[in-house]
Amino acid sequence: MARQIGTLQEWLNLDQAAEYLGVSKRSLINAVNLCKDKICNDTLEIKRFGNRTLISKSSIDATPNIITQYTGGIV
C-alpha cells in the first residue's frame, strides 16, 4: 500500500497515483510511457524528481480517459 495521499498534496508518485486511479502500477507505467512518447494522455503532467516519476493529481482529475494500452488506432 502506498503512503496515504494528503488533502493538499499535488504530486503523486507512481504507487500513489495507481492507487488513486484504482489501476495496477504496471498499467500506470504504460500510461506514462504513452504520454512520454506523445501518443496519448497528453494532458497528464509528469515530472522527474531524482529517480522518481511524479504525476500531478489535478492533471489526473482533468483527464477524462487515461489510456493504458495503445493498439495503433485513432486515439
* pLDDT tens sequence across 27-56: 999 999 999 999 999 999 999 999 999 999
b/e burial code for range 52-73 (CB count within 10 A of at least 16 → b): ebbbbbebbeebeebbbeeeee
pTM over 0.95: no
**Percent of all residues in the chain with a pLDDT value above 70, rounded to a whole number:** 93
pLDDT band for 2, please (50, 70, 90 cuts): low
**Percent of all residues in the chain with a pLDDT value above 90, rounded to a whole number:** 77
Q: Of 23, 9, 22, 1, which is closest to residue 55 (Cα–Cα)?
A: 9
